[in-house]
Amino acid sequence: MAVKERIRVGGRSARIQSAVHEAVQRLAVATSRDELTVPQIAAAAGVTPSTIYRRWGDLSALFADVAVQRLRPIADPEETGAMTSDLRVFIEQFMEEMSSPVGRELLRDVFSQPGSHTVRCGNYTIEHLTTIAERAKARGETPFDVDEVLDHVVAPIIYHILYSDRKPTLDYCHSLLDRIQSLPRKT
């Protein structure tokens, strides 16, 4: 079994990762993904193809890594002043971003490499939901159960994005949120 290079934060490793990620994104704008090759990406990033193979193994692993990085949130969820509206705004944005053509492609890349990529991506959603629940608790509201929202709202949205020919709508998301209102809340 080949040992993958551990990626350190900062330094040469971070610069290489950043250069390769940027090269993938830049090339994907002008070239069909099916036509992208490791040597092409390596040349655009200023590294050798062996660097990419050693770190990522193959193109699908590289695409998954780029996707997870692009899906990483850049800000906390919007705060509206009430848990119900905070959650509603978050789920609406989540659905719109994930069901967009770019979001669908990123999700497919992440799910093409099960394991750490899917866990990291899932953790972003958990962190946002936890932030919303903690804000609610700090305001004196009874927070929702994060796992219940994952199971009854997020999971059906992701299912429809990945496996259905029906794109989730705002009305569908609102109906999912309405259903969890009847579930018991954490105290």
**Residue 144 in 3-state DSSP?**
coil
Question: Would you say domain 74-180 falls under CATH 3.20.20.20?
Answer: no
Residues 32-46 have pLDDT tens digits of 888 999 999 999 999
Range list for CATH 1.10.10.60 in the chain: 11-57
Angle CA(110)–CA(112)–CA(115) in degrees, nearest 5? 70
**pLDDT the model gives residue 183:** 58
Give the model's confidence band at 1: pLDDT under 50 very low, under 70 low, under 90 confident, else very high: very low
**pLDDT the model gives residue 182:** 67
Residues 121-149 have pLDDT tens digits of 999 999 999 999 999 999 999 999 999 99
Range list for CATH 1.10.357.10 in the chain: 74-180
Q: Which CATH superfamily is domain 11-57 in?
A: Homeodomain-like (1.10.10.60)
**pLDDT the model gives residue 117:** 85
Residues 54-66 have pLDDT tens digits of 999 989 889 998 9
pTM here is 0.80
Asked if residue 3 has pLDDT above 80, the reply is no
